Amino acid sequence: MGQLTLLLQVAFRNLFASWVNVIIGAIVLFGTLLVVVGGAVVESLDESLSRSIIGSVAGHIQVYSEKSKDSLALFGKMGGEANLSAIEKFSDIKKVLLQHPNVKTVVPMGSNSTLMTSGNTVDLTLARLRDLYKQAAPGETPDLRAQIDSVKAHVRQMIAFLDEDLKKRNALASENTLDPTDLQALARAQSPEFWDGFEKDPLASLEFLENRIAPLVADGDLIGMRYVGTDLVSFQKTFDRMRIVDGTPVPEGQRGMLLSKFFYEEFFKLKTARRLDLIKEARDVNHKKIAEDPEIQRRLKENQTQTRELLLQLDPLKTQQATARLRKVLGSNETGLEKLLVSFFTMDDTNFDTRYQQFYEELVPLLDLYRIRLGDELSITSFTRTGYAKSANVKVYGTYEFTGMEKSQVAGALNLMDLITFRELYGYMTVDQKDELEKLQAASGVAEVKREDAEASLFSEDSSLVAESSEGIIDEDVQLDGASQARRQEELARRKYTQQDTEDGMVLHAAVILKNPDTLEQTIAELQESTKKAGLPLKVVSWHQASDIIGQIILVAKLVLYAAVFIIFVVAVVIINNSVMMATLQRVREIGTMRAIGAQRGFVLGMVLVETTVLGLVFGAVGALLGTLAVKKLGTMGIPALHESMHFFFSGPRLFPSLHASNIVTALVIVVGVSAFSTFYPAFLATRVSPLQAMQTDE
Amino acid sequence: MTHLTAVPSADGARPIVSLTDVIKTYTLGKVEVPALRGVTLKVYPGEFISIAGPSGSGKTTALNLIGCVDTASSGVVMVDGQDTKQLTERQLTHLRLHTIGFIFQSFNLVSVLSVFQNVEFPLLLQRKLSADERRQRVMTLLEQVGLDKHAKHRPNELSGGQRQRVAVARALVTRPKLVLADEPTANLDSVTGQNIIDLMKELNRKEGTTFIFSTHDAKVMNHANAVVRLADGKILGRITPAEAQMAMAASAEGH
């Protein structure tokens, strides 16, 4: 006891006796600081990411068919969608999964993606014109006539712009790249004769414009859209971070879609407006300056060069209005709208806020702010697994977002859809199609099942009809003619489906929410077992695995931290080793004296080890304390996400790291271990110091 | 000057130190340097002996062998009845701790420890006494060397003489049978050196501790019961301090 007290005393007093110790101390301090802060940040990152992933779509566990060729990647993967096998009947696996005491909810899902165009302005305007003619068909009113004339004038203006653009483009190109038939079509569309004769057969004229002119305008975007088909009611109940932003939820039992707010803004909003929004956000939230930020400057420049987007949307009347408003706002005598727009969009830090407000107050009322409005139908075409193109019109009821991840591209890429539509797009026969098939069969006299029986056999547990509905059965024969197609669409949009319709059909995967997430791994193993026993072999994976690349990022962050810590401590080992060697050499006489007086080698070994351990503990404690303070500070301030893509990882715009006792304990154990380890060799050398060294004199 | 201590006797009493035909050769590179060439010497308990001789005569080597910090190339070194050649490194250390006290030319105090802790150090290594006993023992000795007021000081706050007195106290704190001092006064001025020798002498008389010290200072030699003269690694003889002084004077004249 007395000896240890002595050793500790010697150790403490030697702490600042040598500058070498101070250097070791500094390294140890820094190392501990890094372990504590880094550990806390990475752990919090892990927690927040898990909150993001679990709370947005994954749940704690995801299950999918064991026959799947790929592994599930909820947020998409390189090279398209994961190839998953279908689970034929969701209710079967739901029943098995719910038998586990730890399973709270199971949400059916299917994810897929598609490419779509946002539609070009000419198409949209022509569609509006067609609509007006349709309305006017039973009897024309003066009001309708005025509208028709206005839209017609708009179309003519568009064609003029188009002609101008094409000629400019042609002048720039070395060769004449235009197809002569296009030029002919364009000439015809501009000729007064065409417009004079328009009213004789408006629909034929429209068809000409739609087929020959609209394709020449290339302002539609190709949009890659990911969607998750799910039980929307259950989804919203389960993932409580989900929030409807605009519009309404899809009414229970109906077909419909909810677009991600981020996706909607990013791809369907008027680009000029979107750019202005982003600039405003950069200025207000991130405190950027137009004068200093090249990205903002680029966006402003784009607004000036891409005024065509606005010009095309405005019919002659609105063009006049816009011109008048801009002249007033700018105090200009300019008459050309394009020039006015360019000077309006010439913005700097002093006038941005006013111009932003003016844009929304003066110009936006004249424009379509979104290409797809809430309540519109979105036409989605998707390829079934066997290669057929399937399309469906889905009504967009609203936009939604996940709280905290409003700006995240990852979370924002997911659009939600009802399961019935999803199945249809995936190439599965839906209840409606079965009905139709039966109607057709009945009509053609090949009915095998009566309507009433069909209903029963469709919804009974051991339905042979449902079992038959495997991919590939898609009947291209059952294509209906245009009119009945439209009627069918309208019918479908209003049609109500039962919960059974939703649950008895195919899904690709399902989210499992647990009552106690702490026993995740155990539950996974047990579910794997129980589904196998039930004859429904599933792959059961944690949210980590289910999110593929995204889930791995935390692993990468951990690896980077551990590598940094490892390097620091390797350096520490080398430096401590060298320093203690030097210190030992400096103390040869002292050690020799102790040995001469009667200290055994073990005592000397103990002395050196205790000294470095104390050194490690003292400086480690200071480092841990500083680290704790740093984490506390970060915990209140938060680490701002430097880029919007980090919102998903931070589960919000800022990460608030918190400290666990384990962080500090780990740091101290590592530090003390490292310092003791790096002292072994010099300590061994110290034991070799001969008592004879005591006899040497200083002089 | 009369000496009240036990006079060396060949009859009956066992010598505490006994060197028989001791040869010690150091190897410096390829050259063998003889330090002791056949030394035979007996020291009896209670003696106060000085080893004298010019530098290089083998004084320090002899003390190192007696102090068990080095071993002989040949011959027998017996300390407290034990043949040091037969002992392991551990046992030698044990012997040093319990039987021998050391006083060094450069004091060799542990700079980060206080005066008290320096003196207490060997007792802690021994692990025989309780904290109270240690305290009592240390304070008694510090009183004896006149440093009880300086118990809490650090060595660097003391003068050279005070430091060497701390070293004396440290050497005696375990109540060793034998105290070895290699040139204990070499780093001190003559008055201080004199005081240290007086202190050693007094302890020798009171406690009966055997002292063997080396010196080349005639005044210091004077205090010894006997002077062992060494030259070129051989003992010239065991003489009285007075004879030694005469011999030294003679050799000085001879030069």
Q: Given B69, B112, B117, which is nearest A692 (Cβ)? A: B69
- Compute the Cα dihedral for A399, A405, A406, A412 and give only its sign: negative
Give the single-character DSSP code of B209. Answer: -
pLDDT band at A454 (very low <50, low <70, confident <90, very high): low
ipTM higher than the 0.85 cut: yes
pLDDT in the model for residue A481:
52
pLDDT in the model for residue B12:
56
Question: If you average pLDDT over residues B146-167, what whole number do you get?
Answer: 92
Cα A492 from Cα A262, distance rounded (Å): 28
Query: What predicted TM-score, i.e. pTM, was given to this entire model?
Result: 0.65
Q: How far is CA A272 from CA A36, A360, A363, B31, in A?
A: 46, 11, 11, 95
B131: tokens are: 């904290």
Interface residue B90 vs chain A (CB under 8 A): yes
CB pairs under 8 A between A and B: 85
Q: Please indicate whether, in this complex, the C-beta atoms of B93 and A600 are within 8 angstroms of each other.
A: yes
Interface residue B111 vs chain A (CB under 8 A): yes
Interface residue B27 vs chain A (CB under 8 A): no
Q: Given B60, B90, B170, which is nearest A600 (Cβ)? A: B90
Question: If you average pLDDT over residues A522-541, what whole number do you get?
Answer: 88
Interface residue B164 vs chain A (CB under 8 A): no
- % of chain A surpassing 70 pLDDT: 88
Which of B19 and A317 is assigned the larger pLDDT?
A: B19
Cα B23 from Cα B235, distance rounded (Å): 12
pLDDT band at A455 (very low <50, low <70, confident <90, very high): low
B250: tokens are: 């003679």
Q: Which of A137-141, A295-299, A369-373, A643-647 is most confident?
A: A295-299
CA B56 centroid distance within chain: 18
Cα A611 from Cα A618, distance rounded (Å): 10
Instruction: Please check the confidence at residue A451 and state whether its pLDDT lies above 70.
Output: no
By three-state DSSP, how is residue B244 classified?
helix
Question: If you average pLDDT over residues B197-225, what whole number do you get?
Answer: 87
Q: What is the pLDDT of residues A542-588, one digit of tens each?
A: 888 888 777 677 778 788 888 888 888 888 888 888 888 888 888 88
Q: Please indicate whether, in this complex, the C-beta atoms of B93 and A2 are within 8 angstroms of each other.
A: no
pLDDT band at B138 (very low <50, low <70, confident <90, very high): very high
In one letter, which amino acid is B153? Answer: H
Q: What is the pLDDT of residues A74-124, one digit of tens each?
A: 877 666 677 888 888 888 889 889 999 999 999 999 888 887 776 677 877
Helix (H) or strand (E) run with residue A65 in it: strand A61-65
Cα A463 from Cα A469, distance rounded (Å): 10
Neighboring chain B residues of A595 at a CB cutoff of 8 Å:
69, 93
Q: What is the pLDDT of residues B40-49, one digit of tens each?
A: 999 999 999 9
Q: Please indicate whether, in this complex, the C-beta atoms of B108 and A590 are within 8 angstroms of each other.
A: yes
Cβ proximity of A471 and A428 under 8 Å: yes
Q: Range with the lowest mean pLDDT among A344-358, A457-471, B20-34?
A: A457-471
Cβ proximity of A497 and A102 under 8 Å: no
Q: At CA B2, angle to CA B1 and CA B5, rounded to 5?
A: 140
Q: How far is CA A82 from CA A77, A103, A116, in A?
A: 7, 26, 20
Average pLDDT over all residues of chain A: 82
Q: Range with the lowest mean pLDDT among A150-159, A370-379, A644-653?
A: A644-653
Q: Which of B121, B137, B154 best tests the A interface by mutation, with the highest count of A CBs <10 A? A: B121
A312: tokens are: 């095309």
Rg over CA atoms, chain A: 36
Question: If you average pLDDT over residues A310-318, what whole number do you get?
Answer: 84
Q: Range with the lowest mean pLDDT among A23-27, A463-467, A529-533?
A: A463-467
Who's near A477: CB < 8 A, 6+ residues apart?
A: none
Cα A305 from Cα A694, distance rounded (Å): 87
Q: Please indicate whether, in this complex, the C-beta atoms of A695 and B127 are within 8 angstroms of each other.
A: no
Cα B145 from Cα B165, distance rounded (Å): 6
pLDDT in the model for residue A257:
92
Q: Range with the lowest mean pLDDT among A592-596, A610-614, B227-231?
A: A610-614
Residue of B nearest to A601 (CA): B90
Cα A58 from Cα A73, distance rounded (Å): 10
Interface residue B58 vs chain A (CB under 8 A): no
Who's near B84: CB < 8 A, 6+ residues apart?
A: B65, B68, B71, B72, B77, B78, B92, B95
Neighboring chain B residues of A6 at a CB cutoff of 8 Å:
117, 120-121, 124
Neighboring chain B residues of A598 at a CB cutoff of 8 Å:
93-94, 96-98, 122, 125-126, 174
Q: Min CA distance, A598 vs chain B (Å)?
A: 4
Judging by beta carbons within 10 Å of its beta carbon (0-12, 13-18, 19+), is residue A656 exposed, middle or buried?
Answer: middle
Estimate the share of chain A in helix, then strand, then coil, as percent rounded to the nearest 5. Answer: 60, 10, 25
- Residue A470, φ and ψ in degrees, nearest 5: -95, 165
Estimate the share of chain B in helix, then strand, then coil, as percent rounded to the nearest 5. Answer: 40, 25, 35
Q: Which among B125, B220, B115, B112 is positioned nearest to B165, based on CA atoms?
A: B115
Q: Range with the lowest mean pLDDT among A115-119, A255-259, A416-420, B117-121?
A: A115-119
Which of B2 and A19 is assigned the larger pLDDT?
A: A19
Q: Which of A372-381, A525-534, B48-57, B130-139 is most confident?
A: B130-139
Q: What is the pLDDT of residues A423-442, one digit of tens each?
A: 888 887 666 666 666 677 66
Q: Please indicate whether, in this complex, the C-beta atoms of A594 and B70 are within 8 angstroms of each other.
A: no
Question: If you average pLDDT over residues A677-693, what whole number do you get?
Answer: 89
Q: Please indicate whether, in this complex, the C-beta atoms of B93 and A599 are within 8 angstroms of each other.
A: yes
Who's near A372: CB < 8 A, 6+ residues apart?
A: A118, A119, A259, A264, A268, A378, A396
Cα B238 from Cα B224, distance rounded (Å): 11
Cα A541 from Cα A509, distance rounded (Å): 11
Cα A326 from Cα B95, distance rounded (Å): 106
Q: Which of B65, B94, B108, B188 best tests the A interface by mutation, with the highest count of A CBs <10 A? A: B108
Instruction: Please check the confidence at residue B88 and state whether its pLDDT lies above 90.
Output: yes
Task: Give me the residue label for tokens 């026969």.
Answer: A429
Q: Which among A184, A179, A190 is positioned nearest to A155, based on CA atoms?
A: A190
Please state whether beta strands A414-418 and A222-230 pair in parallel, antiparallel, or not at all (unpaired). parallel
Q: Please indicate whether, in this complex, the C-beta atoms of A10 and B110 are within 8 angstroms of each other.
A: yes
pLDDT in the model for residue A220:
62
pLDDT in the model for residue A609:
87
By three-state DSSP, how is residue A269 classified?
strand
pLDDT band at A176 (very low <50, low <70, confident <90, very high): low
Cα B170 from Cα B120, distance rounded (Å): 7
Cα A44 from Cα A50, distance rounded (Å): 10
Q: Which among A170, A175, A226 is positioned nearest to A57, based on CA atoms?
A: A226
Residue of B nearest to A2 (CA): B124
